[in-house]
Amino acid sequence: MSGPSRGRRRMLAALGAGAAAVWLARPSARGAPHDAYFRGLQAALRQAGIAEPTLVLDRERLRANIRRIAGHLAGKMALRVVVKSLPCPALLAEAAALAGTRRQMLFSLPQLEAMAKGGRDILLGKPLPAAAALAFYRQFSDMDFQPQRQLQWLVDTPERLAQYRELARGQNLHLKLNFEIDVGLHRGGIADADTLRRMLDMVAEEPRLQWSGLMGYDAHVAKIPDLPGLRDKALRHARTSYAAFAALARAHPAGRIAEPCFNAAGSPTYRLYPGDGPENEVAVGSAMVKPSDFDLPLLDELLPACFIATPVLKALPRFELPYGVEWLGGLAGGWNANARRGYFIYGGNWQADPVSPPGLESSGLYGHSSNQQLLVGSGLQALAVDDTVFFRPRQSEAVLQQFGDIAVYEGGRIVDRWPVLPATG
């Protein structure tokens, strides 16, 4: 046999071996029907006659999470419940009762108008325009809530402080002002000692204003890349910065108050504060229901407590793409066993990911839809029309408000429907 013939045969053999290796490396079928937990959820929804996209809250898991969070704090730090993360009055009441707190953190004028009642202690979690504060005072009427004692407005710059000062003077109001400080997140706030002194001077010169404390948010500590030592360094910087700002404030005449509110941390980082610094409270909300963005080592003891449930509208025998490119759907199913079946669900395109039955995913070939989203799977899920697909939200804020009343699951049944607060920015 000539040299070229042997070369061609070797090349063909190599190509054949390569093609076989690629084919053998194709994704294998995965998936399974609902496990016992999600079968129970599905049965409860059917018994309750719920057949549309619904946010389901597992009350038993919620309570267990809140008790664990309170146990982690062990009385060393106060707990402030974050309203935007749990935007439902009944859910907030449950959290407050179990955690033994009346402190809330709010982030919008509508939230403030809804929650400024009774004995709550409210801290704004972001600086609102002075015009929004004026709108609040113009409509506020609850005699059981005293804003001059129970409400802390957040200010971040001398300019915004001047606006609140003019509001106080013009409306003859007494305002409590908490100062936002930058402890490394670099999302605004007071970044240097001179600015803090200047703002404290402004408060000291105006009898209608009272400094009430500091708020330093440290979300970056949990979000930056986990390179060796980088997160620990960011935490040390955050706490050192906070301590320096707190010491400066307490030494100023405007800062000599009995019980300043030194708010720090959030759901991803609250466990990093043992109560040995000036920080005396943490703000927690999302961790109580644990959406998937909070799958962090520090929160391993907490359980997911909220899910989006939606019915299957169409269970197709095979995944197909529209006319003209049907062949591409066949190729996709031939290559990937997990794209052989197609399921159209009621709604979709949420900030959430399918979690049960396992093995479902959105189709990158078909695209997203908020009306009838297509999910593909291997068929091992054994889904039929009117079965339920469960999604796990990536976050709780905003998502919990997209589905109307929350369905409360407890003891194997849907036991209540909890209205949510209006969606806001």
CA angle 198, 203, 206 (to 5 degrees): 130
pLDDT attached to residue 29: 77
Lowest mean pLDDT among 29-33, 53-57, 193-197: 29-33
What value does the mean pLDDT take over residues 343-356?
96
pLDDT at 395 exceeding the cut of 90: yes
More confident residue, 2 or 157: 157
Using CA atoms, how far apart are residues 125 and 127, in angstroms rounded to an integer?
7
Residue 389 has pLDDT above 90, yes or no: yes
How confident is the model at residue 322, as a pLDDT? 60
Beta-carbon contacts of residue 126 (< 8 Å; ≥ 6 apart): 107, 154
Mean local confidence (pLDDT), 390-398: 96
Q: Compute the average pLDDT of residues 36-43.
A: 98
Q: At residue 343, does pLDDT exceed 70?
A: yes
Classify 286 in phi/psi space as left (phi over 0), alpha (psi -120 to 50) or beta.
Answer: alpha
Average pLDDT of the chain, as a whole number: 91
Amino acid 333: pLDDT:
55
Query: Of 215, 184, 204, which Cα lies nearest the Cα of 251?
Result: 204
Beta strand segments in 44-164, E: 54-58, 78-82, 103-106, 121-124, 151-155
Side chain identity, residue 257: I
Which has more pLDDT, 173 or 324?
A: 173
Mean pLDDT of 235-242: 97
User: Three-state DSSP class for 213?
Assistant: strand
Q: How many CB atoms lie within 10 A of CB 247?
A: 12
The predicted-structure confidence for 145-165, as pLDDT tens digits, reads as follows: 999 999 999 999 999 999 999
| Percentage, residues of the chain above pLDDT 90 | 80
pLDDT at 15 over 70: no
Task: State mean pLDDT over 343-369.
Answer: 90
* Confidence check: pLDDT of 183 > 60: yes
Q: How many CA atoms lie within 13 A of 415 on its CB side?
A: 9
pTM for the model: 0.89
* CA-wise closest residue to 283 among 258, 263, 306: 263
Instruction: Name all contacts of 72-77 with Cβ < 8 Å and 24+ positions apart.
Output: 72/270, 72/271, 73/270, 73/282, 76/274, 76/275, 77/270, 77/273, 77/275, 77/279, 77/280, 77/281, 77/282
DSSP string, 402-418: SSSSEEEEETTEEEEEE
Cβ contacts of 226 within 8 Å, gap of 6 or more: none
Q: Read off the pLDDT of each residue in 271-283 and give the average, rounded to a whole number.
A: 96
Residue 324, pLDDT above cutoff 90: no
User: How high is the pLDDT of residue 224?
Assistant: 87
pLDDT tens per residue, range 408-418 = 999 999 999 99
Q: Which two tokens stand for residue 370?
A: 């908020």
Model confidence at 53: pLDDT above 90: yes
Per-residue pLDDT of 88-137, as tens digits, reads: 999 999 999 999 999 999 999 999 999 999 999 999 999 999 999 999 99
Show the tokens assigned to 190. 């007071």
- Over pLDDT 70: what percentage of the chain? 89
* Closest alpha carbon to 44 in 422, 425, 417, 423: 417
In the predicted model, what is the mean pLDDT of residues 34-62? 98
pLDDT at 20: 45
Residue 227's pLDDT is: 84
Instruction: Look at residue 330 in the predicted model and tell me its pLDDT.
Output: 58
Distances from the Cα of 246 to the Cα of 7, 243, 251, 335, angstroms: 78, 5, 9, 60
User: Sorting pLDDT into bands at 50, 70 and 90, what band is 338?
Assistant: confident
DSSP string, 336-388: -GGGSEEEEESB---SEEEEESTT-EE-TTT---SSB-EEEE-STT---TT-E
How many whole angstroms separate alpha carbon 417 and alpha carbon 414?
A: 8
Q: Decide which of 245 and 6 is more confident.
A: 245
